[in-house]
Amino acid sequence: MEEHPSLESYWRSVILFGRNVATYKFALAKSLIELAPKEDSFVTLEELSEPFSKKIIEHLKQNDKQITSKSSTFLNACRDAINNEISRDELISTTKKYGFNNVLDAFHIVNQNEISVKFFEKETRGRTKGIVITDSLYLLRDSKQFQNFEQEVEARWRLVETAWSMNVSPSLLEVNYDDETNIFYIEENNIRRTDVTSARDALNGYQKGKCFYCFDDISINSLSADLGDVDHFFPYVLQSQVQLNLNGVWNLVLACKNCNRGLSGKFAKVPSIKLLERLHKRNTFFIESHHPLRETLINQTGKRETDRISFLKSMDSIAINYLIHRWEPNNEFAPVF
């Protein structure tokens, strides 16, 4: 949607907007993040196999469903490694042979076409196959947003594998929000709760690592001074006045501390119409992608775009009648969405 996408936007398009038949792309993305500080730009498939298989094994221990097909030689080797039935060398050898058959070619494909920026290139030196890390990944490594990428990848990964393990299409996953823990969770038959991922981690990429209101940089690192707040766009104080769940994904945004609770912060005021239009745009990012939160947003706001616009306008009318005051930030950085 950007006329001149940034490197961060290209990276996030790969992670947040690509189709998935396996979780290998997420494992490769996390491996690239780990390898980004490496001085030698050429990485052999054997070297890549170490972090790649490690990431997959970490997730297999939590959730055995990592692919939509019935079987995988590579995943079986990872399962054998978990059970100490094969050696490390055997695992690396199998990963090198079977783990990268499709993911290296598919990684940069978004909406059925390759993006114009590459974070690595396939290369063979002599008889040694591998990848070359490009300048784009090194530039990305030096950006302020790089600190958020690993958690964003992890959040998307957790949502996808959870849907698969429940035998539900990721687009049909109904996700709920726990206001006390800032966690997205699902309920099976309204009985069993499964915590999926941090709300911050899942929302951040779709705001491009920026405060929803003023576009200042925020972090999803819990130790960062710039840690973003999970904020209710329409203040939660309205919950007693409406029949809708204001803890719904549609109403949750990430905000810097200054906008959310600073001296001139939003608190229990109603955001301006300009910000209401921005909320619709942010929600559209989820709906038009293949994100597992897509169906949750449609269920909460309407199947057609006209329905969703009407829904937000009606909510705004209710909010301003009760809370009276409009709000928007005193200062705003250049818009990024």
| E-state strands within the chain | 42-44, 109-110, 113-114, 120-125, 128-133, 176-178, 183-188, 192-198, 229-232, 252-255, 270-271, 326-327
Indicate if the pLDDT at residue 2 is higher than 60.
no
Please indicate, yes or no, whether the overall pTM of this predicted structure exceeds 0.95: no
Measured CA to CA, the distance from residue 219 to residue 148 in angstroms comes to 6
- What is the per-residue pLDDT across 35-77, written as a single tens digit (0 to 9) for each? 998 888 999 999 999 999 999 999 999 999 999 888 899 999 9
Count Cβ atoms below 10 Å from residue 88 Cβ, excluding itself: 10
Q: Give the chain's length.
A: 337
39 or 147, higher pLDDT: 147
Per-residue pLDDT at 253: 95
Measured CA to CA, the distance from residue 318 to residue 241 in angstroms comes to 9
Please tell me the least confidently modeled range out of 2-11, 64-73, 124-133, 267-276.
Answer: 2-11
Query: What value does the mean pLDDT of the chain take?
Result: 90
Indicate if the pLDDT at residue 172 is higher than 90.
no
Render 94-144 in DSSP notation, one character per residue.
Answer: HIIIIITTTHHHHTTEETTEE-S--SEEEEEETTEEEEEE-HHHHHHHTST
Q: Could you tell me what percent of the chain has a pLDDT over 70? A: 95
Indicate if the pLDDT at residue 126 is higher than 70.
yes
Average pLDDT, integer, range 264-270: 94
Per-residue pLDDT at 295: 80
Please state, in angstroms and as integers, the Cα–Cα distance from residue 120 to each residue in 47, 94, 227, 282, following that order.
14, 22, 30, 29
Q: Kindly state the tokens that stand for 124.
A: 């063979």
| Cβ(212)–Cβ(190) below 8 Å | no
- What is the per-residue pLDDT across 176-235, written as a single tens digit (0 to 9) for each? 888 888 888 877 655 567 777 888 998 998 899 999 999 999 999 988 999 999 999 999
Reported as a pLDDT band with limits 50, 70 and 90, residue 168 is low
